[in-house]
Structure 1
């Protein structure tokens, strides 16, 4: 099978390229910067999905597209509507023209409960367009990545973790390699909608304690009134998107239980231990 991974140089994109290659598939990596993609896939295609003219012919011979495209912290003047929705829609239209057999998309768990968050709203709008397409779809709704837990670890390293409320909100983030393996399974078996989380369901307070333990330090956790989180959500739309956008998503997700069916074997404890030993988080 010929697989095209869009957003291939990102945390999950790299893991997806490796996972599909291990299963014997021919992998094409769609990237914006070839200098970051050496050895990533059988074929590198340099293009920008926000510019349809750069994608002409890219889907020829492709059986499966897996898209992780979305704004993280890039500051190139584009918004969520242009990237998380528009760029993915451009990919989808080119996939339709190229006769691609399946299109897989990495979504967010509980998107219906975060519709007021621009990042999530843009992703949800694309999922609607994907389901309206004639191409069979696989949508993977995930709880979050180990790399997203870096804020907990950074606060612990600085000496104190600040939590809103009592810290009882639960989540089970997943390692990128474990998520990639689950995505491969979902696409190979033709599943339409899959919710995926990691093997350990933990409260926010437990995650903070694990971060301190990895650093060999006593846990120092301060609980702030949850009303402050809700007040911040009111004010964040006034800030620039590169600041307010990610914060609105993070603070909204903190108010939900982000728990999905368990997959994988890699543990957050081991991830934090690697960071404490000098490893890096993608």
Structure 2
């Protein structure tokens, strides 16, 4: 049997990273994990005793050698795009610099393969700092000399928790016509796709879930299961909807996130169909008590 070597999962304590580690552990793979927090270390310790704690963006020395004896790197590093998640870090720090530092170490230590979870729209001509950071790292990875697969999800179901939060607050914003389509994917199904590329895969994989819905259809499902009223917002007004009180319920510094949210919800985001978990099933299993 071929020795597949050891795999490093960066961003391992996040929703996607944890599912990836769970799958690899179940398959008996040898893994190393990177997380930034003590809570993450505690969470990951049940999967492996090879857990590194470090901030890949700010502490290059702290992660020096993290890819030694690693065959494949899987990076799920990145800043949350949630409108409700405050963060002092920029997308350039969390999505570009962190991954670039990891890549530098991987090149130095002769890593054979690098799987990077990017976002659909990273290659867009639109200039969003979110997409720009991913695009810049994709370019670095392509020129690194390491075999790679860049996974661009159409979107995570969990990324739509913002709409569930707003629905609990009685408002479900529908930007534009609502006719733009997407097939977002559950992070468990996405993890299976990522793991399937462990040894080989396409250079670019645009990945979606099992069902295509319009944004209006998804808003109607949220209304049915969570509650709230659908409020239609003309696209040019998406950032200045003061009459709805929307800016008051978001976190600080959300302008770029809101721009990007408007972009992805008014353009088709459809990837290759994968998985079995539907958006309706995801909403039905959502713990609304934890959605604030």
How does the TM-score come out when normalised to structure 1? 0.88
Q: Mapping of 1:95-174 within 5 angstroms?
A: 95-113=106-124, 115-174=126-185
Structure 1 60/126 Cα, relative in aligned 2: closer, same or farther at 3 Å?
same
Aligned pairs, how many?
272
Q: Mapping of 1:176-195 within 5 angstroms?
A: 176-195=187-206
Distance in 2 (alpha carbons) for counterparts of 1:49 and 1:256: 32
For the Cα contact (< 8 Å) 1:156–1:208, is it kept in 2? no
Q: In structure 1, the residue corresponding to 2:173 is in which secondary structure?
A: strand
Q: Which has the higher helix share?
A: 1
For the Cα contact (< 8 Å) 2:79–2:91, is it kept in 1? yes
Distance in 1 (alpha carbons) for counterparts of 2:89 and 2:273: 34
For the Cα contact (< 8 Å) 2:172–2:223, is it kept in 1? no
Deviation at 1:56? 1.6
For the Cα contact (< 8 Å) 1:186–1:194, is it kept in 2? no
Distance in 1 (alpha carbons) for counterparts of 2:31 and 2:147: 20
Structure 1 280/179 Cα, relative in aligned 2: closer, same or farther at 3 Å?
farther
Distance in 2 (alpha carbons) for counterparts of 1:159 and 1:74: 22
Unaligned runs of 5+ in 2: 242-246
The one-character-per-residue Cα deviations of 1:100-135 (angstroms, maximum 9, x if unpaired) are 110110111132225400011011000000000111
Q: Determine the structure 2 residue equivalent to 1:229.
A: 238
Distance in 1 (alpha carbons) for counterparts of 2:121 and 2:192: 22
Deviation at 1:224? 2.0
How does the TM-score come out when normalised to structure 2? 0.86
Q: Determine the structure 2 residue equivalent to 1:84.
A: 95
Q: Determine the structure 2 residue equivalent to 1:37.
A: 41
Deviation at 1:231? 7.0
Q: In structure 2, the residue corresponding to 1:212 is in which secondary structure?
A: helix
The one-character-per-residue Cα deviations of 1:45-97 (angstroms, maximum 9, x if unpaired) are 1111121101122111111111111122452x432222211111110010011
Q: Determine the structure 2 residue equivalent to 1:22.
A: 26
Structure 1 279/4 Cα, relative in aligned 2: closer, same or farther at 3 Å?
farther
For the Cα contact (< 8 Å) 1:152–1:207, is it kept in 2? no
Aligned-pair Cα RMSD in Å: 2.3
The one-character-per-residue Cα deviations of 1:4-41 (angstroms, maximum 9, x if unpaired) are 11111112111111122222211211011132332523
Distance in 2 (alpha carbons) for counterparts of 1:24 and 1:104: 19
Q: In structure 2, the residue corresponding to 1:250 is in which secondary structure?
A: helix
Q: Determine the structure 1 residue equivalent to 2:65.
A: 57
